[in-house]
Structure 1
């Protein structure tokens, strides 16, 4: 690789938005057949740099080279024509169209008189899907697929063109472990044909598993490029955030209070069965399991989004029936959902109004909303959560994924709930922001909140939880304290092994 020329090279790229210098002289290159990680905290400039490369933004300074040629990316179609392919973190699919139509959108094969050649379209698509080893075909409606399978459709698009560089932006965020294996095989196949891979991810284990080099940005500035094999998670993290992190296991130093939430024999159709647990004030209870274990469905039931088919929910020892989210909020239950864009935010509204939306009636002064009270709430959580935005007027849709997630968390914290349920609290969030949110969850518990954390990341549940509920196929297999849980017995439990089987 040392004698080869870069597939593409960006030199001294500058990009400024009103009030923000998003990129400040950033240089970056990717070699043929290389998997090159691009890392940094949310707001570091990664997405902006890739949008410059993809023709979505025009740089205010600097040059893009492909091979020896300086090029101008006038728009996304021109970037694609030059061999730059994006696999976006946020899905950009037409749900009413078929898988084949989505993959070849704008480039449908035609017959005479411009008619679509449906047979060739189907054959070409199925050939690509076969490589990905997915369980659906060309004619499947995209809206009928799971989020994970929709992500595989996005990945399939990369295999339809003569790509010189493929950019993967958090590609595994919605994938199961088996689907990740397929993705990594696809990346290896692209490498074998000398395609350059740019891999953006916050998941360190993936970075150190599949990448060759790592480039780090911080606050829009280039921090350096290192060989992955010569680096450690700690050294890369310090490059990203300028400090070291406390990644030790959780140890509570405060007394637990009374039981705030108790669930007895709760069932919900095929999603989960006979689930029982309790959460005390001052406690963080983590829920861990594979995709389909029923964790999110339990949270949705507690928040009034699903009706249980059996069992009881008790708040402060009293049996309650929660028929709607309004019921849940009124009783002091808040839910930070897994899908922040679809369920947690109104992307066209500004940061302040998103944060205060659930309590807008309480903030009214006569027929009008008391803007001073709104600003007091926004300013408090803007500072506490270190939300990076030019100001409260910024549209939430313009924020990075991590800062959007912080807005959702701030919104529900401002309601001062008795029980805070957080589903995948740090999905798509960088390691520095993860640490801040983990610290915040622990602080909330110390203040007397009862906190439920649903996470697909083992280090996360181990780090923040006082107890961990391990689930498999809709059932609670075991409940561990922070003192007796190990990675091995947690894996055994979420794989369906009971304590008696392990013994």
Structure 2
């Protein structure tokens, strides 16, 4: 790709960007959110037309006019945002448009499942081809997406944040697959914000910043600090967290004996005003399930939820919001944002009553003033408050969700994977924002699959395994990753032994 240009309304997404990929190479593409990485890859995979520049495959010029044309050229892509159909089975998603047929065009369901099972087996994936995708966790959906892309036997495979929802064992399995692809001569474009992954898997790294090409460097010999500096245009330092003493603060939230099947079993904990309580655990430990029950998104079978010392019968998100609880889902695109609506509308969405007259007319001027205030307060990077949220970077989208709940004046905020898919610079901003909210007296729960993040943010750390709370640890330097993992793998048999 040479001299690639791309413009959107109000945004110059790519300026004179070049990129090349060799057979059997993993070439990492890095940059902050909004740097242009996904846009460049969508041009490569035929999703977006380019406004300028040239693209070559095997030395000949090409212009893929759509994803199918790119697939015909041997280019496959695994999107950061999943593109699966929840009502279809895993097999129907993997082989959609290529389903085996019997006589008279009837679908051969048995052969469909057999072929998909063979694909899963080649990747060592323990997945049921017949299971509806909508019933799977985000991590399993990600693995199905990967299998779907590899089923086309691509020569070029683009992976956009492929490990965002995977645990360590699944990441190791994915890297095994990538190593096999390299040996088969497949070129892999790898987009990730996880610096340790880049060192483990990449051969070269190309850095973009603000839609412009910065440099291409050797992954093994270039320090991570130098890659980060090129990404953000400045030095990024992580401040040593200061754990405040919140023991004297009033209780904001108490959860007693929370239970829902085997997903959440007799979970009890407390949260004080001004405190950040981190939740750690492996995938499927029950952390998100606890959050969804507290927020009323899922029903509870037993247990009590106490807010500001008063029992609350929370049976729906409306009940939770009225109790002063806000929830930022791990899947912000589906459960936190209306991506085709404006930034202004998204911020006001949970508080429309305050902008609505008695006759039902929205006060657009007041909504505009409020949106601009939060844009300034949270440092949301956008051309205007009327920008569609889908055109914002991941970090800025997350800030819009935060603004929505701050406007609703929620005193208890639950952040589920707050920095998933967010670059290192935006992570620092989100961390600072959470710490500022806690300093203002808000009570915060942070659920994260990244142990350094949990340790960096949390005043205390609650660890879960198989639906149970296995321990609560102090935050900061008093706790190690090894201690957390010991509790995160302390299964029911170990608990029974004492």
Q: TM-score category by the smaller chain?
A: over 0.9
> Post-superposition shift, 1:438?
0.5
Secondary structure of 2:376's aligned partner: helix
Matches within 5 A, 1:341-420: 341-367=333-359, 368-420=361-413
Q: Give the structure 1 partner of residue 134 of structure 2.
A: 143
Q: Is the 8 A contact 1:43 1:388 kept in 2?
A: no
> Post-superposition shift, 1:254?
6.8
2:262 is the counterpart of 1:293: no
Q: Is the 8 A contact 1:254 1:282 kept in 2?
A: no
2:431 is the counterpart of 1:438: yes
Aligned partner (choices 150, 169, 184) of residue 178 of structure 1: 169
> Post-superposition shift, 1:129?
1.4
Secondary structure of 2:38's aligned partner: helix
Q: Is the 8 A contact 1:99 1:139 kept in 2?
A: yes
- Cα distance in 2, alignment partners of residues 262 and 143 from structure 1: 32
Aligned partner (choices 236, 246, 253) of residue 245 of structure 1: 236
Cα distance per residue 1:420-458 (max 9 Å; x no partner): 111111111111111100000001111111111111111
- Cα distance in 1, alignment partners of residues 253 and 339 from structure 2: 32
- Cα distance in 1, alignment partners of residues 138 and 491 from structure 2: 28
- Worse-superposed segment, 457-466 or 472-481: 472-481
1:143–1:450 Cα change, 3 Å? closer
Query: Which 4+ runs in 1 deviate beyond 6 A?
Result: 497-503
Aligned partner (choices 457, 463, 473) of residue 464 of structure 1: 457
> Post-superposition shift, 1:118?
5.3
- Cα distance in 1, alignment partners of residues 133 and 268 from structure 2: 36
Q: Give the structure 1 partner of residue 416 of structure 2.
A: 423
Secondary structure of 1:361's aligned partner: helix
- Worse-superposed segment, 27-36 or 132-141: 132-141
Q: Give the structure 1 partner of residue 151 of structure 2.
A: 160
- Worse-superposed segment, 323-332 or 262-271: 262-271
Cα distance per residue 1:127-170 (max 9 Å; x no partner): 21111222234444333433322222211123333422100011
Cα distance per residue 1:248-307 (max 9 Å; x no partner): 442135766222112223222322222222111111111111112111121112212233
> Runs of 5+ in structure 1 lacking a partner?
1-9
1:130–1:415 Cα change, 3 Å? same
Aligned partner (choices 22, 27, 30) of residue 39 of structure 1: 30
Q: Give the structure 1 partner of residue 296 of structure 2.
A: 304
Secondary structure of 1:30's aligned partner: coil
- Cα distance in 1, alignment partners of residues 18 and 405 from structure 2: 39
How many residues are aligned here? Answer: 494
Cα distance per residue 1:459-484 (max 9 Å; x no partner): 11111111111111122222111252
Q: Is the 8 A contact 2:209 2:232 kept in 1?
A: yes
- Cα distance in 1, alignment partners of residues 349 and 237 from structure 2: 34
1:126–1:253 Cα change, 3 Å? closer
Secondary structure of 2:236's aligned partner: coil
Secondary structure of 1:134's aligned partner: coil
> Post-superposition shift, 1:178?
2.4
Secondary structure of 2:20's aligned partner: strand
- Cα distance in 1, alignment partners of residues 89 and 299 from structure 2: 32
> Post-superposition shift, 1:109?
4.2
Q: Is the 8 A contact 1:33 1:194 kept in 2?
A: yes
> Post-superposition shift, 1:384?
2.8
1:430–1:320 Cα change, 3 Å? same
Secondary structure of 1:37's aligned partner: strand
Q: Give the structure 1 partner of residue 268 of structure 2.
A: 276
- Worse-superposed segment, 210-219 or 412-421: 412-421
- Cα distance in 1, alignment partners of residues 240 and 497 from structure 2: 24
Q: Is the 8 A contact 2:167 2:449 kept in 1?
A: no
Using the size of structure 2 for normalisation, the TM-score is 0.93
> Runs of 5+ in structure 2 lacking a partner?
none
- Cα distance in 2, alignment partners of residues 171 and 417 from structure 1: 33
Q: Give the superposed CA RMSD.
A: 2.3
1:378–1:126 Cα change, 3 Å? same
Q: Is the 8 A contact 1:248 1:463 kept in 2?
A: no
Q: Give the structure 2 partner of residue 3 of structure 1.
A: none
Q: Give the structure 1 partner of residue 482 of structure 2.
A: 488
1:471–1:500 Cα change, 3 Å? closer
